[in-house]
Amino acid sequence: MTLDDILASPRTRRPVVMGILNVTPDSFSDGGEFFDARQAARQARRLADDGADILDVGAESTRPGSERVSTDEQIRRLRDVLPAAVACGAPVSIDTTLSPVARFALDAGAAIVNEVSAGRDDPAMLELAASRKVPIILMHMLGEPKDMQARPRYENVVAEVRAFLAARADAAIAAGVPRERIIVDPGIGFGKTLEHNLALLAGTAELASLGFPVLVGPSRKRFIGELTGQDDPHQRVAGTVAACLAAWSRGATIFRVHDVRALRDAMTVAEAIGRDAEP
């Protein structure tokens, strides 16, 4: 899929599968598995072979309670991995909130910025996306990873997340990012209880009504374990697929997941049913 296909997905309804590559020692479900550059390169290839339309590469865990990773350390972790990911052929997104890290990744061939602070951590990020003419993902988070799960509260979670995303999209547009290059994400698990996550997934259509492609990232997250009783994140694949299908039926089109093959197969079946049901 090209970047244009990805950005057109709300119109075409083609599901876009984003495969996760965490080059970290401490991510919540796969920390340490791909910390070694050679293993990370192998995983990038596997995600692409499994049908990933985007490879999302990150060098900082944002799991609840995590500490920040410096610019230098993120770049050190990414140096050998990014060229290998880019060589797989799918567009690469860089999951960081620091503009020097994003700049390094874009220079190495990344094509999308995945910004979980929606441009609040480092104001230079929005200008960077504008000047490099790349799509940017703006995600909602309440608080910071360090404290975000300490009693998150909303009056109306869907309305508040929608308003936040609209305001951050306006900030990106003011910094020079064209509206056609903005993707929004409710930030499943980032300062949200089980009920908040379910309301946001159920309310995807309200988020999609902003007019931007909607990305959701429920993959292996704790709320799935809370519902299913699966404590091991690797056992949350079926729950992840169900969450993505529910969001897809309500207008989300981009899905950030660890288990690409499982979601690709599910989406192939769901799409075929949708298509063949049309008269």
Give me the residue label for tokens 């910004």.
115
Alpha-carbon span 129 to 194, nearest angstrom = 33
- Using the rule CB under 6 A, is 62 a contact of ligand HH2? yes
- Using the rule CB under 6 A, is 197 a contact of ligand HH2? no
Binder of ligand HH2 out of 118, 188, 214, 245 (CB under 6 A): 188
CB of 128 to ligand HH2, least distance (A): 17
Alpha-carbon span 195 to 176, nearest angstrom = 36
- Using the rule CB under 6 A, is 116 a contact of ligand HH2? yes
- Using the rule CB under 6 A, is 68 a contact of ligand HH2? no
> Which residues are marked as active site?
221, 256
Of 195 and 269, which CB lies nearer to ligand HH2 in the complex structure? 195
Binder of ligand HH2 out of 6, 16, 20, 172 (CB under 6 A): 20
Helix or strand or coil: residue 215?
strand
- Using the rule CB under 6 A, is 256 a contact of ligand HH2? yes
Q: Taking the C-alpha atoms of 63, 69, 75 and 81 in order, what is their torsion angle to the nearest 10 degrees?
A: -30
Torsion region of 51: left, alpha or beta (phi above 0 gives left; psi -120 to 50 gives alpha)? left
Alpha-carbon span 69 to 41, nearest angstrom = 21
CB of 11 to ligand HH2, least distance (A): 21
- Using the rule CB under 6 A, is 120 a contact of ligand HH2? no
- Using the rule CB under 6 A, is 215 a contact of ligand HH2? yes
**Strand pairing class (182-185; 136-139):** parallel
Q: State the CB neighbour count (10 A cutoff) for residue 198.
A: 17
DSSP state of 73: H
Site for ligand HH2 in 221-240 (CB under 6 A): none
CB of 22 to ligand HH2, least distance (A): 4
Q: Is residue 112 a contact partner of residue 135, using CB atoms and an 8 Å limit?
A: yes
Binder of ligand HH2 out of 10, 14, 29, 227 (CB under 6 A): 29
Site for ligand HH2 in 155-184 (CB under 6 A): none
DSSP state of 87: T
- Provide the binding-site residues for ligand HH2, judged by CB under 6 A: 20, 22, 24, 27-29, 58, 61-63, 95, 114, 116, 137, 139, 185, 187-188, 215, 217, 256
